[in-house]
Amino acid sequence: MTDRKATLTIDGETPIELPILKGTRGQDVIDIGALGSHGYFTYDPSFTATASCQSDITYIDGEKGILLHRGYPIEVLADKSDYIETCYLLLEGALPTAEQKATFEHTIKYHTMVNRSIEHFISGFRYDAHPMAMLCGLVGAMSSFYHDSLDITDQEHRTISAHRLIAKMPTIAAMCYKHFIGQPFVYPDNTLSYSENFLHMMFGTPCEKYECHPALAKAMDRIFLLHADHEQNASTSTVRMAGSSGANPFACIAAGIAALWGPAHGGANEAVLSMLDEIGHEDNIEEYIAKAKDKNDPFRLMGFGHRVYKNHDPRATVMRQTCDEVLEVLGVQNDPLFRLAKKLEVIALEDEYFISKKLYPNVDFYSGIILKAMGIPEEMFTVIFATGRTVGWISHWNEMITHPYRIARPRQLYTGADVRDYTPMDER
């Protein structure tokens, strides 16, 4: 907070003073909450210049390529922490002690099972239903199975719901995958880590135990961690807006999943694979680079540049290293698709056109390649994104609920017809 004020001057009217608020880092914001009482609203389509809330969770500086979770750089967390510890950090606001982490991990492990009726629920979806369609429906339906802790005013209920969501999302995500490919569900194994358990449920079968390579478990853990939260993006804002009505946490997370499903948000790594398929072979790269540079050509390089990060995506550096490790472990470095991807990466990092426009490979470029190499179909990419992002969504929801809030109610600039007389049917 500061004592600074902004003065809005409108011809012929008394100047309006608006408080200027200052956060820990980032841009100061002008508090326009009282502007409506003066007969004016602001106009900001997509809210790209509007601070919709006050938050202590995540900070992004797109110009400098900075991403902090509770003050910790994402690169540090990816190197020294793991997904479960990061979950605790986002939820609780501080890194856990050894005892706190052990207790938290134990709690998450022993919430991984889902109600048996959910198996019947998912069996009702068509055999070829998109996994995101199933995930959205299943998470929304969880409130009917876990209605014992839906009092959003009760801190214990909120905590239990948060733990259930973090624990059960991998189970539900894997069930969506199994239904999608026509295999029986695989139950969680609480002797495994979070990421190992997810891969076990994805690739295990009743007739053969899945042996998870440590590098693949580490890669999946990093994918979850690097997608855990990303400030007030479309899906997180959706969760907050749904939560402002007093909706239960499962409904709010389902709303976030629905927003994430959009190709402009959670489908970016899927778009990377589609682009690579379109290019087809590394011999065609030069042609497609020329198309990408042509403003009149609809072709766009997917997985390069970022709407928020104008310098570099801090998550991409970590993901690039992980990508190389996974390709080496799986022995697919010479697969034509991955050779194409790596050559495209080199060009983007060295070509003056891409450098000048800061079209660097982002986290989606590398995560798409990793998931493809692991044998995960593109239809599951956004489901995995949602699984990792659940902790961010529930952290923001909980933060909003524990502070004074009102139901979200954006305003509009009305451009429709003015008052009109009704014309009877026989006179039209």
The dihedral through the CA atoms of 72, 73, 74, 80 has a sign that is negative
3-state secondary structure 249-272: HHHHHHHHHHHHCCCCCCCHHHHH
Q: Cα(27)–Cα(6) distance, rounded to whole angstroms?
A: 14
Q: Cα(18)–Cα(90) distance, rounded to whole angstroms?
A: 32
Q: Which residue has the tokens 């938290």?
A: 104
- Listed in sequence order, the DSSP H helices in 9-112 are 74-80, 83-92, 98-109
Quick check: helix, strand or coil at residue 151? Answer: coil
Helix (H) or strand (E) holding 29: strand 29-30
Q: What pLDDT score does 1 carry?
A: 53
> What is the CATH code of the structural domain delimited by 72-263+378-401?
1.10.580.10
379: nearest Cα among 121, 134, 112? 134
CB-CB neighbours of 161 under 10 Å: 27
Q: What pLDDT score does 224 carry?
A: 97
Q: What are the angstrom distances between the C-alpha of 138 and each of 154, 188, 258, 337? A: 24, 17, 12, 34
pLDDT single digits (tens) 326-371: 999 999 988 888 888 888 888 877 888 888 888 888 888 888 889 9
pLDDT single digits (tens) 176-197: 999 999 999 999 999 999 999 9
348: nearest Cα among 272, 418, 253? 272
Q: Cα(139)–Cα(258) distance, rounded to whole angstroms?
A: 11
The CATH 2.20.28.60 portion of the chain extends over: 5-51
The CATH 1.10.580.10 portion of the chain extends over: 72-263+378-401
Which tokens go with 139?
A: 């998470």
Q: Cα(281)–Cα(122) distance, rounded to whole angstroms?
A: 39
DSSP 346-395: HHHHH-HHHHHTT--B-HHHHHHHHHHHTT--GGGHHHHHHHHHHHHHHH
Q: What does DSSP say about strands 29-30 and 58-61: parallel, antiparallel, or unpaired?
A: unpaired
The DSSP symbol for 183 reads: -
373 close to 223: Cβ distance less than 8 angstroms: no
Q: Under CATH, which architecture does the 268-373 domain have?
A: Orthogonal Bundle (1.10)
Q: What pLDDT score does 317 carry?
A: 85
Half-sphere exposure of 297 (CA within 13 A, CB side): 11
Phi, psi values for residue 61, rounded to 5°:
-120, 100
Q: What are the angstrom distances between the C-alpha of 123 and each of 144, 168, 183? A: 17, 18, 11
Which tokens go with 311?
A: 């310098």
Which tokens go with 83?
A: 């997904």
Q: Residue 111 contacts by C-beta under 8 Å, 6 or more apart in sequence?
A: 163, 164, 166, 167, 168
109: nearest Cα among 200, 211, 228? 200
Q: Residue 205 contacts by C-beta under 8 Å, 6 or more apart in sequence?
A: 183, 184, 186
Residues in the chain: 428
The CATH 1.10.230.10 portion of the chain extends over: 268-373
Note down pLDDT in tens along the chain; length 428 residues.
568 999 999 998 999 999 999 999 999 999 998 888 999 999 999 898 899 999 999 999 988 889 999 999 999 999 999 999 999 999 999 999 999 999 999 999 999 999 999 999 999 999 889 999 999 999 999 999 998 889 999 999 999 999 999 999 999 999 999 999 999 999 999 999 999 999 999 999 999 889 999 999 999 999 999 999 999 999 999 999 999 999 999 999 999 999 999 887 888 788 888 889 899 988 898 899 889 888 899 998 888 888 788 777 889 888 888 998 999 999 998 888 888 888 888 887 788 888 888 888 888 888 888 999 999 999 999 999 999 999 999 999 999 999 999 999 999 999 999 999 999 999 99
Out of 3.20.20.70, 3.10.450.50, 2.20.28.60, 2.70.98.20, the CATH code matching 5-51 is: 2.20.28.60
Q: What pLDDT score does 6 carry?
A: 93
The catalytic residues are 265, 306, 364
Phi, psi values for residue 360, rounded to 5°:
-85, 155
